[in-house]
Amino acid sequence: TSSLIGMSGVQTDLCICWSVLQCDVVMNLSASQRCEFVKNTPDCASDEGFIKYPVVTFCLFPPNLLPLAITLYVRTHLAQLPNSVYFLNCFFCPNLSAISSTLRLTHNVAGVTFLALGNGAPDVFSAMAAFSHPQTAGLAIGALFGAGIFVTTVVAGSIALVKPFTVASRPFLRDVIFYMAAVFWTFIILYKGHISMGEAVGYLGLYIAYVLTVIVSAYIYNRQKHQLNGSAQTSDDGEYEPLLPYTQSTAQIFLNAINPVDSRTWRRQHWSAKVLKVIKVPVEVLLLLTVPVVDADKEDHNWKRPLNCLHIITGPVVCVLSFQSGKYGLLLIEGEVPVWVLILCIGVFLSGIVFFTTTNERPPRYHFLYSLLGFVVSMLWISTVASEIVSVLHLLGVVLSLSNTVLGLTLLAWGNSIGDCFADITIARQGYPRMAISACFGGIIFNMLFGVGLGCLLQIFQTNNVVMLEPEGMLCWVLSGALGLSLVLSFILVPLQCFHLSRVYGIFLLIFYIVFLLVALLTEFRVIQF
């Protein structure tokens, strides 16, 4: 193949040759050949997303500006991290909580299903996006395993350093055993090199077994204690309610609803926080205009009549234009009218009905349906962002000659887990270390089983074939072995310490992660060879 590239005498021969090559070969070509190569190589154009990064990078940017292009991509997508945290906290999770309340799910069931999806959405959608193409499947494996090691060592170790505590023995052993089973199953799948439909469904079945175990364990515990767990939700919004009744106009309600800046806290913020807020405002306004939020903690369940009427128009339009990068939304009906125009007209009609049959003061009976719409729109927004991030990381691996696995276990895993890290450490500082450690293991079990199971299942439905999972060298085995070793050590050492996590154990976990990362990088650059 390389000899055919060097013998670039006939253009047709080059096109035939390029059609069977991997995209990472582009860095071995001269600068003048790279643009045509990425245009004619299917592997370079197979990433799903709105931006074809290889074409933009090698065709629009001069060769001497290639580092600038990569820097812009990385900085742009890393800047989405605070927006993602804001999005999950303000849009996705409230809608999931409202759905759980509407379905009258118990706290245990809601915690390991809908709320777990809220916390693990970036990991799951990143894995699904990565599994959609064979050349990026290594990103999914690296991200899921890398996030697992990061959470069970760095996050758990940080919690132990911040607040030494004694874990609940039975929930801890339950979570570790289920996670070890998931990791061992994945190890076998990687050894086989492929996953069938039955095995993909088995991942989802194992998670259902985990949920049932949580429910049964909670039932037994409550029965033994002869009492039920209850929770009282309070809201401090009343502190800011006006003393005298005040009626806002429809225009005022709309403007206040799309204003992401809280005037009560703006003056107290540091100048750097204000600058960051100004940068985030366009994205936040876009989300406010397209994603409805039903908040069960508020008296009116966050009913904003003019904005919610607009959501009936913008929400479905966003869905059809973001699903499969607008592939179906741009289709023409009878060769004349695009699908998104039809959806827009239907949305305008329904919005008018809602606007003229409701009032500003009281939400309608069907207001809970907005939580379902918000849930769907949120998933598609997250899926779109995840697809773009996976595409950028794939390009980064091509340019820097790095495997997808190492990119997954570092950049993608860190980006998806850093928010959970700060949240769990904050919860531990506030005096709830048990809750924080439970979130560590419960979340990654969901990410592993749903990320691999659902991601591979969707790919099987699309291709009607098994999903090939070929490990990228020894790094994949180092990754899975390190995750399995960390779980085994936790399963043995924590009971030996009478389930007390001390600061010494926290330091041990952090050292374990540093050693693992060092070995992984040395293996990637072939300094260490097995």
pLDDT of residue 71: 81
Residue 131 or residue 9, greater confidence = 131
**Residue 145, both tokens:** 């395993």
Q: What is d(CA 171, CA 485) in angstroms, rounded to the nearest whole number? A: 20
The DSSP code for 138 is: H
The confidence score (pLDDT) of residue 349 equals: 95
Q: Which amino acid is at 460?
A: I
In percent, how much of the chain has pLDDT > 90? 13
Residue 28 maps to a domain: no
Closest CA to 176 of 504, 477, 452, 486: 486
Average pLDDT of every residue of the chain: 78
pLDDT reported for residue 227: 53
pLDDT beyond 60 at 213: yes
Confidence (pTM): 0.66
In a domain, 26, yes or no: no
Q: Is residue 464 part of a domain?
A: yes
Task: Look up residue 152 and give its DSSP letter.
Answer: I
Looking up residue 406, the CATH number of its domain turns out to be: 1.20.1420.30
46 has pLDDT over 60: no
Is the confidence at residue 37, as pLDDT, over 70? yes
pLDDT at 125 over 60: yes
Annotate 464-480 with DSSP letters as a single string: TSPEE----THHHHHHH
Say how far apart CA 118 and CA 93 lie, in whole Å. 5
Q: Which two tokens stand for residue 212?
A: 């049932």
The predicted structure's pLDDT at residue 270:
80
Least confident of 21-25, 59-63, 105-109, 407-411: 105-109
Cβ burial 253-272 (10 Å sphere, 16+ → b, else e): bbeebbebeeeeeeeeeeee
Domain assignment of residue 171, yes or no: yes
State how many domains the chain has: 1
Domain boundaries, position 489: 45-525
Give the closest residue to 273 by CA, choosing from 72, 91, 86.
86
Question: How high is the pLDDT of residue 328?
Answer: 74
- In three state form, how does the secondary structure of 21-67 look? CCHHHHHHCCHHHHHHHHHHCHHHHCCCCCCCHHHHHHHHCCHHHHH
Please indicate, yes or no, if residue 180 is contained in any of the structural domains.
yes
Q: Tell me the sheet residues that pair with 166.
A: 500
Residue 9 in any domain: the answer is no
Q: Which of 41-45, 50-54, 88-92, 252-256 bottoms out in mean pLDDT, i.e. has the lowest?
A: 88-92
Q: Is the pLDDT of residue 315 over 80?
A: yes
Q: Is the CB of residue 112 less than 8 Å from the CB of residue 214?
A: yes
Residue 507 pLDDT > 60, yes or no? yes
pLDDT at 260: 83
Which residues, in sequence order, are CB contacts of 510 under 8 Å at separation 6+? 153, 154, 157, 158, 161
Query: Which tokens sit at 394?
Result: 């794939």
Contact between residue 467 and residue 201 where contact means Cβ atoms under 8 Å apart: no
CA–CA separation, 367 and 101 (whole Å): 13
Share of the chain above pLDDT 70, in %: 78
Instruction: Match 């995209």 to its residue by tokens.
Output: 23
- pLDDT value, residue 511: 95
Looking at residue 1, its pLDDT comes to: 38
Return the closest-CA partner of residue 147 out of 414, 497, 337, 506.
414
Q: Which helix (H) or strand (E) holds 250?
A: helix 250-257
Cα–Cα dist 306/258, whole Å: 11
Q: Is residue 494 part of a domain?
A: yes
- 304-326 mean pLDDT: 88
Highest mean pLDDT of the ranges 20-34, 359-373, 379-393, 428-442: 359-373
Flag whether pLDDT at 483 surpasses 80. yes
Kindly tell me if the per-residue pLDDT of 382 is higher than 70. yes
Q: Say yes or no to pLDDT of 427 above 80.
A: no
pLDDT at 113: 66
Q: Indicate whether 509 belongs to any domain.
A: yes
Q: What band does 289 get if pLDDT is binned at 50, 70 and 90?
A: very high
